[in-house]
Structure 1
Amino acid sequence: MEGFRAFIAIDIEDNNLLQKILDIQREISQTGAKLKLVEPENLHFTLKFLGNISSTMVDEIYESMKQIAFNPFELELYGVGCFPSLSRINNIWIGTRKGGEEVSRIYNDLEAQIKKLKFKPEQRKYTPHATIARVKNAHNKDRLAKIISKYSSLEIGFMKVDSVRLKSSRLTPKGPVYNILRSIP
């Protein structure tokens, strides 16, 4: 059975926001830390990572997604943070402020729907975030932590959220390539 990696997400497509995120990425890459920056066209807020699915599951997942009701809303991108902690940085992300509770509500509704399709619920508490870099090793970690701390309260800007997308992810040597499979407005 032919399968592929898939996830459900809210994409960041506003060019002004993407430029601000690129500026932050440029600064963190100048620390000398070994990083894998997320390409601008791949920046998104993951709502549910589904893992490998078959093409026959796409319509079932789409039907589940259509059960989620939301009106378009403004989402404020706010602050830079990391997982799991400043002393062990694996993942650098952009957070949310205004509208973040709506993203969490969509996530919770989606979890309830997707669970019916036998997908395991996430064990960790959901925090709306968009990963901007993955840290390969701890080289120059102190410089990296300083930049993350400096931008922890950065007001990045607002975007309109008017769709949730089911996307496929194909891993290539240059990084993942995402394709939109379905979208709910």
Structure 2
Amino acid sequence: MRLFIGIEVPQSPKLLEIFEIVKNAGADIKLVEPYNIHITLLFLGEVREDRVEEVKDSMSGLKFNKFKVTLKGLGAFPNLTRPRVVWVGIVEGQQQLRQIRSYILNELLKRKIRPEDDKDFSPHLTIGRVKSYNSISNLINTINENMNVDIGTFEVNNVVLFKSTLTPKGPIYDKLFEVSSIDRGGSTEDNKTH
């Protein structure tokens, strides 16, 4: 099964507004469904069913305090002249995301499970993939105009192992396992994006 480890991102009015701005650029882009938005920490790709417990085991020792992630600005990979992936930047919370990823990566490698993306990690939130370069200049202008826009802050309480099922309408993500922060005692009010 196709697996990845990530952080759920709550939908906020500001984030949905950014989706609309990118959509209205008129470029040939496949946007992520807002209910599927997440920060990918590790993409594992295809993992045999008999190894899923080992993946869960590699996450189970993770200890972290809840922390804030602040989203800011649009950008693109690999660069702005030939964008393939449009993303929202992360300005606060990068260090914690890197530490969590590093811990899980080491645990996976101890179990001889090699993620597909074990290279450099640049924390971001993918919002769309460019399908062709039709009207690409509009998209580039939109990204440039929104490079420094504040999108909001949310609190990270869980790290989740997702199963991704590809369908013609887009991927369906199912939670298989999650690790909560060690100080998860806060009220649900604290978890809203502002």
* Same fold (TM > 0.5): yes
Q: Within 5 A, what are the aligned runs for 1:77-96? A: 77-96=71-90
Structure 1 stretches of at least 4 aligned residues deviating more than 4 Å after TM superposition: none
Q: Aligned residue for 2:9?
A: 12
SS of the counterpart of 1:175? coil
SS of the counterpart of 2:166? strand
- Write the letter of the residue equivalent to 2:169: K
Which one of the candidate residues 176, 180, 191 is aligned to 1:181? 176
For residues 3 and 102 of structure 2, the distance between their equivalents in structure 1, rounded to whole angstroms, comes to 18
For residues 73 and 111 of structure 2, the distance between their equivalents in structure 1, rounded to whole angstroms, comes to 34
Identical-residue share of aligned pairs (%)? 36
The reply on whether 1:129 has 2:124 as its aligned counterpart is yes
> How many residues align structurally?
179
Worse-matched range after superposition: 175-184 or 103-112: 103-112
- Decide whether aligned partners of structure 1 residues 54 and 124 sit closer, same or farther in structure 2, where only a CA change above 3 A counts: closer
TM-score, with structure 1 as normaliser: 0.92
Q: Within 5 A, what are the aligned runs for 1:16-165? A: 16=12, 19-120=13-114, 122-165=117-160
For residues 75 and 31 of structure 1, the distance between their equivalents in structure 2, rounded to whole angstroms, comes to 27
For residues 29 and 159 of structure 2, the distance between their equivalents in structure 1, rounded to whole angstroms, comes to 28
SS of the counterpart of 1:97? strand
Q: Which runs of 5+ in 1 are unaligned?
A: none
For residues 69 and 25 of structure 2, the distance between their equivalents in structure 1, rounded to whole angstroms, comes to 29
For residues 164 and 146 of structure 1, the distance between their equivalents in structure 2, rounded to whole angstroms, comes to 34
- Write the letter of the residue equivalent to 1:43: I
**Structure (1 or 2) with the greater strand fraction:** 1
- Write the letter of the residue equivalent to 1:137: S
Deviation at 1:133, TM superposition (A): 0.6
Deviation at 1:62, TM superposition (A): 0.9
CA RMSD, aligned part only?
1.3
